[in-house]
Amino acid sequence: MKHIVIVGGGAAGLVSAIYAKTPNNKVTIVERNSSCGKKILATGNGKCNYWNSDQNPNHYHSSNNELLKEIITDELKIEALNFFNNLGIVPKIKNGYYYPFSNQATTIKNALLREVAKKQIEIKHDFLVDKILKQDNYFIIEGNNESIKADKVILATGSCASPKTGSDGIGYKLLRRFNHNIIAPCPALVQLKTTGSYLKEWSGIRTDVTVSLYENNTFIKEESGEIQLTDYGISGICVFNLSRFISRGLLDNKKEEVSINFLPFITNKPHEYLSNLFNNSNSIKSQLEGILNNKLVSVILREAKINENTSFNNLSEQEQNKLIEKLIDFRVTVIATNDFDQAQVCSGGLPLTEINTKTLESNLVENLYIVGELLDVDGDCGGYNLGFAWMSGIIAGKDCSKND
C-alpha cells in the first residue's frame, strides 16, 4: 500500500486527498492549523464564490500562459464542476459566479471534509512541517518532533497571501530545498496605494467606473465595475483585477498609472454629450452633482482648476477640455500595493516549466507534486483562484492514485 501525504489542508489539498485515496492508497493530510479549509471560509465575503461559468484561460495569469492552457482543459472544467455536484452542492449562479445556495462558505468546507472522512483520510492538525527529505524512493516529512514516511507528496501549502489563514510561504522554502526556482511572489487581488492630496476627501466613495492600466505610458488592460476610493488610494474588484500586473511592474521599477473614467456610460463624443446635458446656466458643480457624489465633484473641479459656480457653457474651450479629461481620464500614480495581509492571492511561484503539466509532478523530484497557489498561476476575481485550486488538486490527486 502506497502512502501519500498532502502538505496543506486548504482547497487544493483537500481535493488532492479525495482524488488520491483509493483502497490501495493510504492518504494523510498534514495541516498547520487546528482545522482544515480556513481560507475557504474567507472567500466571497464568507459566501464562497467557488466557480465561474466562464472558465476561459484568459482569466488566469502566468509567466507561461501557453503551458497554463495545457493544464486548464475543457475535460477538467467539466470534472471539477461535476465533483461539486456529486458532493451535493446546489449552486446559486449570479452573472456566472457560483455560490452554494446556502450562501455560506461552510457549506463547501463541510462537504469536502465529509468526503475526506467518508474516504477515511487521516488528518494531522497543528502539524508544522520543518523540512521534507527524499531518501531513495520515499520521502520523510519532519515536524512536531515526529517523522512521517511517504511514497508520494503533494505540496498544497498555499502562497504567502493572507498569512493569518496559515499561508506563510513555507512551500516556497520546501521547493527551493529541492532545487526548484521560485518567481518572486507579489500581492495580487489587492488594493492599490496612490499619490494624491485629495485622498482623505474622497475616502468612502463608491461609484461605477472603467479603469485602465498604463505601464510606462503603455496601455496594458481595462476593467469595469465599482471602484472604492480610499484614504490610501483605490480598491474594488475592477482594481483587484489590475493589481497583479501592477505588483509585478512595481517590482521591476516600472511606472504604473491607473486612468479612471468616472463617466463610463459616455461611449463617444464626451464634449458633445456634456454640452447637450449641461445646456443651461446652472453651476457646473450642481450639474455634476446630478451624476456623481458631491465630494468627488469637489475633488474633480479642484484638480481641473474650475470655478464651481461657473456653468459648463461659460467655461473656455481649454477649461472644458481639462474638466472632461478629469472626468473620463483621471490619472492616479500607483506607488505600492497593500501587503500580503490584504492580498487574496499571490502572483508568482513555481514556474510551470518545472512541472509536468499533465500530472503536476515536479520535473526535478519524482513523486513530488505541486498544486494550487504554490504554482505560478493566479486568477481574476470571480471564483477563478478556487477554480484553479480544485482543478490542480484533481490532476495531482488522480495521478497519485494510479498504480505504478
**CATH number of the domain that residue 295 is part of:** 1.10.8.50
pLDDT at res. 144: 87
Pairing relationship of beta strands 345-349 and 183-188 according to DSSP bridges: antiparallel
∠ Cα 252 254 258 (to 5°):
130
pLDDT at res. 132: 97
DSSP at 350: B
Q: In angstroms, rounded to a whole number, what is the distance separating the alpha carbons of residues 363 and 27?
A: 23
> Do 178 and 304 share a structural domain?
no
Q: In angstroms, rounded to a whole number, what is the distance separating the alpha carbons of residues 19 and 393?
A: 8
Q: Between helices 317-328 and 294-304, what is the axis angle to 10°?
A: 130
Residue 209 grid coordinates = 467606473
Q: What is the pLDDT of residues 340-373, one digit of tens each?
A: 999 999 999 999 999 999 999 999 999 999 999 9
Q: In angstroms, rounded to a whole number, what is the distance separating the alpha carbons of residues 313 and 315?
A: 5
Q: Judge contact between 373 and 349, C-beta under 8 A.
A: yes
Q: Which of 326, 269, 322 is nearest to 292 (CA)?
A: 326
Q: Which of 304, 402, 335 is nearest to 24 (CA)?
A: 402
> Do 175 and 92 share a structural domain?
yes
Phi, psi of 150 (to 5 degrees): -140, 145
> Do 28 and 123 share a structural domain?
yes
pLDDT at res. 280: 77
pLDDT at res. 3: 97
> Do 394 and 330 share a structural domain?
no
Q: In angstroms, rounded to a whole number, what is the distance separating the alpha carbons of residues 177 and 225?
A: 43
Name the domain boundary from 284, 316, 337: 337
Q: Which of 378, 325, 326, 390 is nearest to 348 (CA)?
A: 378
Amino acid letter, 322 = K
> Do 277 and 132 share a structural domain?
no
> Do 173 and 68 share a structural domain?
yes
Q: In angstroms, rounded to a whole number, what is the distance separating the alpha carbons of residues 400 and 361?
A: 9
Q: In angstroms, rounded to a whole number, what is the distance separating the alpha carbons of residues 170 and 8?
A: 10
Strands of the sheet containing 97-100, edge to edge, are 51-52, 97-100, 91-94
Q: Provide CB contacts within 8 A for 398, sequence distance 6+.
A: 19, 20
Q: Give the residue numbers spanning the domain of 40.
A: 2-187+344-401
| pLDDT tens digits in sequence order for the chain, 404 residues long | 899 999 999 999 999 999 999 999 999 999 999 999 999 998 888 899 999 999 999 999 999 999 999 999 999 999 999 999 999 999 999 999 999 999 999 999 999 999 999 999 999 999 999 999 999 899 999 998 899 999 999 999 999 888 888 778 899 999 999 999 999 999 999 999 999 999 999 999 999 999 999 999 999 999 999 999 999 999 999 999 999 999 999 999 999 999 999 999 998 888 888 888 887 778 999 999 999 999 999 999 999 999 999 999 899 999 999 999 999 999 999 999 999 999 999 999 999 999 999 999 999 999 999 999 999 999 999 999 999 999 999 999 999 998 65
pLDDT at res. 404: 56
> Do 136 and 117 share a structural domain?
yes
> Do 150 and 131 share a structural domain?
yes
The domain tally of the chain equals 2
**Exposed / middle / buried, residue 137 (Cβ in 10 Å: 0-12, 13-18, 19+):** exposed
Q: Which of 31, 9, 69 is nearest to 377 (CA)?
A: 69
Q: What is the pLDDT of residues 254-284, one digit of tens each?
A: 999 999 999 999 988 888 888 888 877 789 9
Name the domain boundary from 285, 302, 337: 337
Name the domain boundary from 304, 322, 337: 337
Q: Is the dihedral of CA 236, 237, 240, 241 positive or negative?
A: negative
